[in-house]
């Protein structure tokens, strides 16, 4: 099997699994308990906090463990909104191609009377710091912009956006779920106030994430309960997952440079090879892009069918995001970059990791053109295009 869907989830690394085992086998005490068996777990919790913090240039007291990226996004955005409302500030700036964990939280706030401004991401699929700067108003209470897009891989100019937010005295949150462990993060240098990350996107376990909150930024508690996470997130800590995530993040950051180089070579080959398919187009920013992300539209092809046929041939890929593949709606990200509905349905996302090889890439390049051809030959729509009854879009 060739796994090329690392933006959906990643295989837990040996280091992550090794780091989890002690908390399942021996150190299973509750970190809140005062006896030694609990305190040993509490030490592990602090150790994980220090390690996660070190990977992003934060201090351990600024790290809050959550159940994943979605919870971290919800908590960051709802906190900033609540804080803003107190001062009469109810304007929020974001982008049109955020993850649904962000967009749906913003929808909820809109219903509560907040004004949400989604910046246009253009044809290339990116935003500039100037766009953010122009949008900031005296009543803006939050800018939330993702570090890297999960579908088309665009990498946003986060340090520049951070700088204009700092200058405008507006809190800046970034959903860095696709960036953590893949791109360098320094919350100080990049002026980030709130940052979300998720264990299972960098070879850690699922169901665990972290929210970085700059000292002095107030945090709303979403889950009432005990005094865990300094009273900001009730519930007994998921120690195995937290330890696994810390180990995975550390390892991913240590191998980042080497992996990036390898991924860039594989991406180059994939883009070059898939571009040979007639009436196809690369989606997203060709340059400022996650090194392992390739996303193409193939005209006259239906995304789901493409995925099922590739699955039969041993290739795991995705069309849009996993969260939307249950529905027939085209990806909001592809629509945001101006792809027409008809083409947005025929997208293929391949996301590689350091474990993929050039042989995987060559196999993908053998299979995809065959499958695209096969589907086009079955399509009445495609026949109309070939005969000139309908126009080509790509
Ligand atoms: C996967 C993902 C999330 C959600 O993270 P979970 O840990 O699965 O809740 C949020 N944002 C982005 C950009 C993602 O890719």
* DSSP letters for 122-178: TTTT---HHHHHHH--TTEEEEE--SB-TTT-BB--HHHHHHHHHHTT--EEEE-TT
CB atoms under 10 Å from CB of 224, counted, come to 9
CB-ligand 1 contact for 146 (6 Å cutoff): yes
69: exposed, middle or buried (C-beta count within 10 Å: 0-12, 13-18, 19+)? buried
For residue 69, the CA-to-ligand 1 centroid distance in Å is: 5
For residue 100, the CA-to-ligand 1 centroid distance in Å is: 9
> pLDDT, tens digit, for every residue of 70-98?
999 999 999 999 999 999 999 999 999 99
Q: Which residues contact 205 (CB under 8 A, 6 or more apart)?
A: 12, 16, 20, 199, 240, 241, 244, 245, 248
Angle at 273 between CA 271 and CA 275, to 5 degrees: 65
pTM exceeds 0.95 for this model: yes
Angle at 137 between CA 136 and CA 139, to 5 degrees: 125
DSSP state of 196: E
Q: Are 249 and 204 in contact (CB under 8 A)?
A: yes
C-beta pairs of 310-315 under 8 Å, 24+ apart in sequence: 310/367, 310/368, 310/371, 313/367, 313/371, 314/1, 314/2, 315/1, 315/2, 315/4, 315/363, 315/364, 315/367
* Whole-angstrom distance, CA of residue 63 vs CA of residue 196: 10
Secondary structure (3-state) at 298: strand
Q: What's the confidence (pLDDT) of residue 324?
A: 47
For residue 70, the CA-to-ligand 1 centroid distance in Å is: 6
Task: Indicate which atom in ligand 1 lies nearest the CA of residue 207.
Answer: 7
CB-ligand 1 contact for 105 (6 Å cutoff): no
| Closest residue to atom 5 of ligand 1, CA basis | 69
Q: What's the confidence (pLDDT) of residue 65?
A: 98
Secondary structure element (H or E) that encloses residue 33, with its range: none
Q: What's the confidence (pLDDT) of residue 329?
A: 77
Q: How many residues does the chain have?
A: 394
CA-based nearest residue to 308, from 230, 260, 371: 371
For residue 198, the CA-to-ligand 1 centroid distance in Å is: 6
* Whole-angstrom distance, CA of residue 153 vs CA of residue 293: 5
β-pair partners for 174? 195
Within 234-302, where are the H helices? 239-254, 256-274
Regions of the chain with pLDDT less than 50? 321-324
| Closest residue to atom 15 of ligand 1, CA basis | 150
CB-ligand 1 contact for 318 (6 Å cutoff): no
* Whole-angstrom distance, CA of residue 295 vs CA of residue 285: 10
> pLDDT, tens digit, for every residue of 20-30?
999 999 999 99
Task: Indicate which atom in ligand 1 lies nearest the CA of residue 8.
Answer: 1
Q: Where in the sequence numbering do the catalytic residues fall?
A: 323
Q: Which of 177, 182, 290 has most ligand 1 atoms within 8 Å of CB, for mutation? A: 177
For residue 192, the CA-to-ligand 1 centroid distance in Å is: 18
């Amino acid at each position: 099997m060739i796994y090329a869907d690392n933006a959906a989830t990643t295989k837990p690394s040996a280091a992550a699994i090794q780091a989890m085992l002690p908390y399942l086998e021996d150190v299973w005490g509750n970190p809140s308990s005062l006896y030694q068996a609990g305190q040993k777990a509490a030490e592990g919790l602090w150790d994980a906090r220090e390690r996660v913090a070190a990977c992003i240039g934060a201090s351990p007291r600024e790290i809050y463990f959550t159940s994943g990226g979605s919870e971290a996004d919800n908590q960051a955005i709802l906190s900033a909104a609540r804080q803003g409302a107190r001062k009469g500030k109810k304007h929020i700036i974001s982008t049109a191609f955020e993850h649904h964990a962000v967009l749906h939280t913003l929808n909820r706030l809109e219903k509560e009377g907040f004004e949400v401004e989604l910046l246009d991401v253009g044809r290339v699929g990116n935003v500039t710091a100037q766009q953010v700067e122009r949008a900031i108003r005296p009543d803006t209470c939050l800018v939330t912009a993702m570090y890297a897009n999960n579908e088309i891989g665009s990498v946003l100019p986060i340090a520049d956006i951070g700088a204009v937010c700092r200058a405008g005295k507006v809190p800046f949150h970034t959903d860095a779920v696709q960036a953590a462990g893949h791109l360098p993060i320094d919350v100080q240098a990049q002026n980030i106030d709130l940052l979300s990350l998720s264990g299972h996107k960098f070879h850690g376990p699922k169901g665990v994430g972290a929210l970085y909150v700059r000292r002095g930024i107030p945090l709303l508690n979403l889950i009432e309960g005990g005094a865990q996470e300094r009273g900001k997130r009730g519930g007994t800590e998921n120690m195995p997952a937290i330890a696994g995530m810390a180990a995975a993040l550390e390892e991913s950051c240590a191998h980042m440079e080497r992996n990036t180089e390898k991924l860039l070579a594989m991406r180059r080959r994939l883009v070059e090879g898939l571009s040979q398919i007639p009436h196809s187009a690369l989606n997203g920013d060709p340059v400022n892009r996650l090194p392992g992300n390739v996303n193409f539209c193939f005209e006259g092809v239906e995304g789901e069918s493409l995925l099922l046929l590739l699955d039969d041939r041993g290739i795991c890929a995705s069309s849009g995001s996993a969260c939307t593949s249950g529905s027939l709606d085209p990806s909001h990200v592809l629509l945001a970059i101006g792809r027409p509905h008809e083409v947005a349905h025929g997208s293929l996302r391949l996301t590689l990791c350091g474990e993929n090889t050039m042989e995987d890439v060559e196999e993908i390049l053998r299979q995809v053109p065959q499958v695209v051809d096969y589907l086009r030959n079955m399509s009445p729509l495609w026949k109309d295009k070939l005969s000139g009854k309908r126009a080509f879009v790509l």
